[in-house]
Amino acid sequence: MTGHVLTRAMLEAGGIDALVARAAPGLRLLTEAERAESLRQTLAARPPGEPVWLFAYGSLIWNPTIHAVEQRTACIEGWHRAFCLSTPVGRGTMANPGLVLGLDQGGSCRGVAFRLADETVADELTLLWRREMLAGAYVPRWLDVKDADGIRFGAAIAFTIDRTAPRYAGDLAHDAVVERLATAAGELGSSADYLFRTRDGLRAHGIPDPDLERLAASVEAARALRA
């Protein structure tokens, strides 16, 4: 089912909206005007005098699709990486929804921070909003990003999960998470591939996530049983 790859060109052409409309016609997407307003509000809350960073904790690590001028490993506090968003398209189907990552409340999270050039902030974030703010399941926030020594080096936009969203799935039992990750697939590939690529991306940056590692091992075992 991997007929598409999420690329910058696909986002620029509006291809992700078209893909979702075909695969999940009942899923309400945000309009361009709604996305533009969300982005306007986010930029209005930008800490004055600071550069724009983007905090990547999932697929943005291994497939950022944006142009950045700097990247650093980073940690945020008060939020953790979790497979808490049900997806009936892309990494799953209406009949067998997959799961993708969001930042859920509590704990901390290590990931990668990308710094955007000031002159391209509007264009890059407009493209990013087409990708991350498809259906309004995330709440973009400015969060402090810290280095390995715990020293703050900036504020980054991070896409936190909206717990009131219809597709919030943060209350699933562990076995249900494993089952969905092991079996769901859609137009952009399988949920398992999304998990494994995130695991490998974190390893490549020297910031492996023990919880994600254990989850990946469980999904690999579940898939092996079905082979």
| Residue 119 annotated in active site | no
The answer for residues whose C-beta is within 8 angstroms of residue 164's C-beta and 6 or more apart is none
Query: Which runs of E-coded beta strand occur in the chain?
Result: 52-56, 70-87, 98-116, 138-146, 152-161, 185-186, 189-190
3-state secondary structure of 146: strand
Q: Which of 12, 32, 37, 132 is catalytic?
A: 132
Q: What angle do CA 114, 190, 219 make, to 5 degrees?
A: 95
**148 vs 144: CA distance, rounded Å:** 13
Instruction: Show which residues are catalytic.
Output: 132
